[in-house]
Structure 1
């Protein structure tokens, strides 16, 4: 693919002084040298995290050790049984999850039949999250199953409002993930940013926010940077992923992540960005290094 002058300037700034500028300037050539340009010292504008499930074939302690070497400070989507390993390696969990129905994508808050079990599960989980030193936990809307968007939003709000006193007491934010219902999660309710923002308004607490997954929302609605600028006050976490395919976030896909990272930083965001792509190459850690480098804007 051809890289225009603006993108060429961005890339030169990102690898300035790294000794790779003599190479042909493509994302593949630049970020193929991540062993040379990354290391443990990062620019600091983006707080880097990575989702555990994308690297399940690597033993967890081995993965934690490798992540630490990259300068990544969080492994997320880990449950309570894995949190001690994170502490052992001086890592945090930017977005934990629980067990059972609390991490079920299809049986979520939009269906009143799930409310009793969900409320009990999160009432138990939220204090554990605080005790571990974390301040967010993921949650899901669940599937529509013929329900209207408005009814689903109202149902979600009823249950979430019951959880807000506990969330506020323990300073833990429930973060609902935006997922695409076009390709990966058919019938999922919280599949557009505007719907999620409407639910935030209906819940009416700063302890309920959205996870803006760039991969999912590029598929579902596009216009990523404008959407982030419009709705950033409702967003407390971000995920990456190459489109199409959810693989590496380099020139093999359609989204230019340095520009998106800049837009996120420009909103004043101070949270984490979690890498949630599935490596398609032989060396998973090399792909992770590349992704962190791409997102580590100066």
Structure 2
């Protein structure tokens, strides 16, 4: 199913207001009857949720719900929203606000000066807020070879590593699929991202491994996580196909994936990034936490 509610659309409309998500197309709703009461978490996985997939819900309301469900983070938010999270005892496990967007990234040298200036300004703000992950993107290929794009990304990002290292903020480049949601995006395979990380050679550059996107592009999720976990700072979830709930309507078995993540000794966050189609999105969120809390 083609998903029109992509993060690309949200990024394009950040200045114009929140995106509106609908539930016009409903999937079956197994296990949706659970009450929205706090979950007794096992502690092996630190849970987060991405705000953009709940953009029809005011942040204050989502904060209260997240806190009640035992989450400790709402992510993909910028500086204007961090005080609201702090008020509710929440953090932002993956900050944003320095990027130009998904398509115009570090693989294009003509954007380097602007991107470096934006990230140089944002990194200290992230650190001052007590946060330690800031998202970044490769950009689209636009006819460029992957090898040249990798060299360009490394050149631009290396300029930021002294500031990132000084403030102990990790720049996390997201792995996205270029097959369905983000046509032509360059950082679309784990191996490419890992080779870029090796070129940059800093603990303050890592990958945001999006399970949904990488299932579409390469599969082999658990083995990939086990092999490349030292290069991964953060994980995102969603159901395949469709990017909806991670329940039994989709093909991935998230309990096994979460156990693999926990077994690597991962101490970061797993962010729920599914687009709910249930009549009760918070019940879907609760279910996803239960599924992932191994």
Q: Helix, strand or coil for the counterpart of 2:160? A: helix
**What is the distance in 2 between the residues matched to 1:149 and 1:251?**
36
Q: Secondary structure at the match of 1:194?
A: helix
Contact kept? 1:97, 1:103, Cα under 8 Å: no
State the match for 1:269 in structure 2: 266
| Residue 208 (str. 1) matches residue 205 (str. 2) | yes
CA distance in 2, matches of 1:28, 1:42: 23
Alpha-carbon RMSD across the aligned residues, in angstroms, is: 1.3
Report the count of equivalent residues.
267
Give the Å deviation of 1:103: 4.7
1:52-63 counterparts in 2 under 5 A?
Answer: 52-63=51-62
Aligned-residue offset at 1:273:
0.1
TM-score under structure 2 length normalisation: 0.89
2:187 & 2:212 partners in 1: Cα distance? 14
Alignment pair present for 1:34 and 2:53: no
Any idea what the Cα deviations from partners look like across 1:223-250, whole Å, max 9, x if unmatched?
Answer: 1001111111100100000000000001
| 1:286 counterpart residue number | 283
1:229 equivalent in structure 2? 226
Matching residue of 2:138: 141
State the SS of the aligned residue for 2:286.
Answer: helix
Deviation at 1:28? 6.3
SS at match of 2:80: helix
Task: Report the counterpart of residue 50 of structure 1 in structure 2.
Answer: 49
Which whole-Å CA distance do the structure 1 matches of 2:257 and 2:267 have between them?
A: 15
Can you give the 5+ residue segments of structure 2 that lack an aligned partner in the other structure?
A: 1-27
Structure 1 runs of 4+ off > 6 angstroms?
Answer: none
What is the CA distance between 1:34 and its match in structure 2? Answer: 3.3
8 A contact 1:109–1:140 mirrored in 2: yes
Q: Cα–Cα, structure 1 residues 92 and 103, in superposed 2: closer, same or farther, change >3 Å?
A: farther
In structure 2, the residue corresponding to 1:246 is in which secondary structure?
Answer: coil
| Bigger-Rg structure (1/2) | 1
Does the CA-based 8 Å contact 2:100-2:115 persist in structure 1? Answer: no
Deviations 1:44-95 (A, max 9, x none): 1110000000000001101111110000000000011000100110000000
Cα distance in 2 for residues equivalent to 1:256 and 1:126: 36
Structure 1 unaligned blocks of 5 or more? 1-26
State how far apart, in whole Å, the 2-side matches of 1:264 and 1:66 are.
26
Please report how far the alpha carbon of residue 39 of structure 1 lies from its aligned counterpart in structure 2 after TM superposition: 1.6
* CA distance in 2: counterparts of 1:34 and 1:174, whole angstroms: 37
| Secondary structure class of the residue paired with 2:207 | strand
State the Cα distance separating 1:33 from its structure 2 match. 4.6
- Residues 104-135 of structure 1, C-alpha deviation per residue, up to 9 Å, x if partnerless? 10000000011010000000000000000001
